[in-house]
Every structure is written in structure tokens, then in C-alpha cells.
A and B are shown apart, each in its own frame.
Chain A
């Protein structure tokens, strides 16, 4: 007896894709991103927007904050989400929001309508995957940027580079010159938490934040700053005890910080242009 199997080659691409600043993307590129996200929103299975948004808070609740796995867990989260988008449109990548230099929410996310239709980047329905909704749960994402009571402690508004965490040091330099991974995490998570708080509304609550499309651009910026820091601190990463920890995601593969350390191994980059010339040898 013999068994015969036919193996179909998987469609693959070895091209490294570049994540772009949302405010520097062309209208056509933003339209393609919106179209992919709209298709993803329409998928009611484990390829859909509601499924992935639910990993962070309701209903899966597996995100990592104020622990050394904060950065690698969210890098893995974005990796899964971006692949789901690229299943729809292989040319699409996750854009990032430069809250260090851009004042406020980028226009692509802040405009309520586009071409007379609701802007999918402005607001999304909240329909947690696989669970019966509680009457008290929000049903639509919202934002309330910069809202706070006058005279009370409040988050710092973007652009965050307008704030000096140390004398003559803006936030970008503060993060990218962090002397260790532990210190990088502390500084970067401080900026991250501040932006979540400043956005208000859905973004302010861990349980619901990932349902806001802006969440993904915010975290791409966090991931980008980590990538820049890695370039000047090669080999530096989470503590040895955690470098091979298997982190939980709601869909395979589970990944370790080590497996997520090089963005090129994950198929993307933030450096959109690299020019190399030969040396003296």
C-alpha cells in the first residue's frame, strides 16, 4: 500500500514591508488601508477585527503591561493583526502615529467621514467575539482627546517632544538613549500610558482600547521607538529569564521575546530607505 500526497506550495513573499507614518501616506495608500480594515471588520470569524481587538481586554484579556514583556507581547500582537490585514491586501502595512512631533490625533483618524461615508478609522463598533454582550458594555468606540478638569492632574498633550523629561532632552532622545532594556521599557511605557490617557474615551480603558483603530497606530509608534533603540543597542533585550518565555496569544503561533526581537524576521521595517556603500576593504 502506498500513500500519495500532493503538497501545495504556500503563497509566500520574502519582501520586507515598510510601516509608514500615517500622516505621510498618500490618499490612495490610506484608502487601501481603510478598505482592508473594512473587510476585516466584516469577517465574523477568527480572522476578523472583533476577534483581534478582543485579545487585549474583553473578552480574552491577555495583554501585558508594567511587566518586562510589555514590548514583545505588543509586537507579537501587531504582527498577528498585520498578517490578518495582509491576508486581505498583501500591500497593506500598519501605519504609525508620530505622537512625538504631531499635535493631536492624525487627520486620517480624526475625520468623522471620508467622501461622505463614515470613516472606519474614526470609530468602530464594539462587538466582542464569541460572548454575549453585557448591557453595560460600550457598543461603539469614542475618543475625547485632552479632556480633563481644569487645574487637575492630566496627561501631557502631544506632541510629546514639547515636554522635556530631563533638562534639554526631548522625549524622543529620552527614550532612544535609554541605557538598558529595563529603563527603555520604563520610559516607553510612561509615554505609552500617557497617550492612552490623553486620547480619552475607549482608548483610556485597557478593556476596550484595542477596539479603537487608533490603538494600532499608537502601538506601531511604540514598536517603532523600540526598533530604533534596538538599532543602537544590538543584542539588548528582556532579562535572560524571560527571553524564551512563551507568550500567550489567542491564535497560534505563541511567540517568545527572542523570536520577536528582529523586525526583519517578522517581515517589516520602519526604516523606509537604506543606502549602503562599500568600505575600505
Chain B
């Protein structure tokens, strides 16, 4: 199965800019379906980015983050060809991870 995570990490000078897009329903638990049944909450709670064995970014998310979430941040010290490990876990315990190359 293809990864749910799409990442673009580009280094410019000493700063690496990271953009990530994840496929996830991010159901809030307030929405009703066509039958009037509440769709249970289902959303990513934690998303981590690791570079060189160090966590460079940790996102804690609530259900108010949009469907198919997007996040952008930058960190110092990445180099071309380095690995960037990305991992998420949702409130149902599902996880996914991927490793991206910094370009």
C-alpha cells in the first residue's frame, strides 16, 4: 500500500524546509452521516519528524485539524541526501511512517 504521507524536504543554506501532506479523514466526532449517525472521532494525534536520530518537530493534533492535514516547518542542520523519518499515530492506534530524502 502506498504511504499516506507525502513529504517534500528541501535544503537551502543551513535551513531545511519541510512540507508534509498526509491522507487521513480527521473525523471530529461531531459530524453525522447521511443516516444521521455520528461518525466517530478519528484523527491523527501525534506526528513526529526525525533527522539524524533527533526529533526536529513534534505535532500534537486535535480533531480541528483539517482533513488530509498539511504542515510546514523548517529546521537547521539538514543536508542533501539525509534521511528524514516521519511517523504518525491516530486516536485509534493506527500508525504510518515513511522516510524521505532531503533534496
Whether both chains belong to one complex is answered with no
B residues with CB within 8 A of A:
none
Residues of A bordering B, CB below 8 Å: none
